[in-house]
Amino acid sequence: MSTINGQVSHWFDKLPELRPKLPGDRDADVCIVGAGYTGLWTAYYLKRADPSLRITILEARFAGFGASGRNGGWLSGLVPGDRHRMAKTHGREKVLAWQRALNESVDEVMEVSAREGIDAGAVKGGTLEIARNPAQAARLAATVAEERRWGNEVTELTKHEAAQRIQFDGVVSAYHTPHCARIQPAALACGLADAVERLGVTIHEQSAVIEIQPGKAVTRSGTLRAPIVLRATEGFTPALPGLHRRWLPMNSSMIATEPIPAEIWDRIGWQGRETVGDTAHGFFYAQRTVDDRIAIGGRSVPYRFGSRTDRDGQVPARTIGLLTDVLHTILPQVRDIPIAHGWCGVLAVPRDWEAGVALDRTTGLGWAGGYVGHGVTAANLAGRTLADLVLARDTPITDLPWVGHQSRDWEPEPLRWLGVRSLYLAYKLADRHETGGRRSTSPIARVADIVTRKPH
């Protein structure tokens, strides 16, 4: 059968029935722009803390349309930023607290999902990280030491021990960390939208916000006035006036196979439903899905000129081919399994690769995001933090180092496009360089990391 391309993502077996648009001018106590994870979690915790609040969410398309319904399904404690840089400005103890809060948020999402009857297919199998050449193995060993310095539990695995979990081809070394659950991301987003509606939150879909000002959010069908307006637009933020260079919409692509027969799974393993990634510069991320497919992603076309975004998840055919090649290289057992779906979406990358959460009490404007691809769990912590900030509650999470963090804007075009394209070409060359048997990271990649200020 032919591969489905786009149609938002494979995680939506059918697109949801749309909620009504904003029907003219309205008032609320809190307006949230964006019905992805960040906006939905913020509404959830606000409404539970104060049921009297009138909360309205404005969404351009439908709940989960953006990265929340297209990601790799890693409910992970990965930090959306550089812990060393944060420690220099805020102190090591605050960064350790941030890491613990993210790890605990994995369980928080699972507990809320169980309480609200959201079946997101969550299995907390942890993450298996693999290396497939000596340079990758050196980085993997350094990462193990780094994670332990930040209080994370990590188990080093030999080639044989890794193969007992999953029969990947060409693995040199690996490690496992428990702080991750496999989920079906769109099921979480849609279930969470239903949950906040049950609590009394109003969601207006088909209501793209074209301007945010203190006290109001403007759509083409009306203006929502509220003393608190929170922006939760992640990769679509550059479309808003005055924010075109605030965050870069980084593109990430995925494919999913047809369901894989039980006899092939018997040869592969993957019984623990671990999420899987590697230490290449052009890394992949993968999961065994609820319905026994393999979903795998990477960044073939990382950025489109002028901060443009995709059209409903459509991805270049060559990207589907490249991801298919990666899958067949690491798991030749599935070479005869057709690819069912290819799609893409955007995530937000601040110029310093540091996410943030903030509320200006003078203007009533707040925001959260810039998760650099680690937002599935971070959005829950951000939503709880925004809720505490709105309610003027001084809590441990409002004292975490990303609260109030601001990044400088990205460079104007064409510098932005030339820079990102050149850097990712450098990473691709570095991966080729390392396949020749180098025992350490290619100097090409080291220079690229310095230029991007990307966390190591």
Per-residue model confidence as pLDDT tens digits over 330-378: 999 999 999 999 999 999 999 999 999 999 999 999 999 999 999 999 9
Q: Which CATH architecture has domain 9-84+185-244+352-399?
A: 3-Layer(bba) Sandwich (3.50)
Residue percentage of the chain with pLDDT more than 90 = 90
State how far the Cα of 380 lies from the Cα of 396, in Å rounded to an integer.
Answer: 15
Q: What is the pLDDT of residues 75-98, one digit of tens each?
A: 999 999 999 999 999 999 999 999
Q: What is the pLDDT of residue 359?
A: 98
Residues 134-139, mean pLDDT to the nearest whole number: 96
Average pLDDT over residues 168-195: 98
- pLDDT, position 431: 81
Reported in sequence order, the residue ranges of 186-234 that DSSP labels E, i.e. its strands, are 202-204, 209-213, 216-219, 222-225, 228-231
Sign of the CA dihedral 410, 415, 420, 424? negative
Strands laid side by side in the 285-288 sheet: 4-5, 339-349, 248-257, 294-298, 285-288, 275-278, 127-131, 173-177, 155-157
Residue 456 pLDDT > 80: no
How far apart are the C-alpha atoms of 302 and 305, rounded to whole Å? 10
Does pLDDT of 451 surpass 70? Answer: no
**pLDDT score of 440 more than 90:** no
pLDDT of amino acid 454:
55
Q: What is the mean pLDDT of residues 247-256?
A: 97
Share of the chain above pLDDT 70, in %: 98
Give the list of residues 6+ apart from residue 285 with CB closer than 8 angstroms, or none.
72, 74, 275, 276, 277, 296, 297, 298
Domain ranges of the chain: 9-84+185-244+352-399, 412-456
Q: What's the average model confidence in pLDDT over 153-159?
A: 97
Confidence of residue 455 (pLDDT cuts 50, 70, 90): low
pLDDT digits (tens, 9 = 90+) for 31-70: 999 999 999 999 999 999 999 999 999 999 999 999 999 9
Res 438: pLDDT: 73
Mean pLDDT of 141-145: 97
Residue 128 pLDDT > 50: yes
pLDDT above 60: residue 9: yes
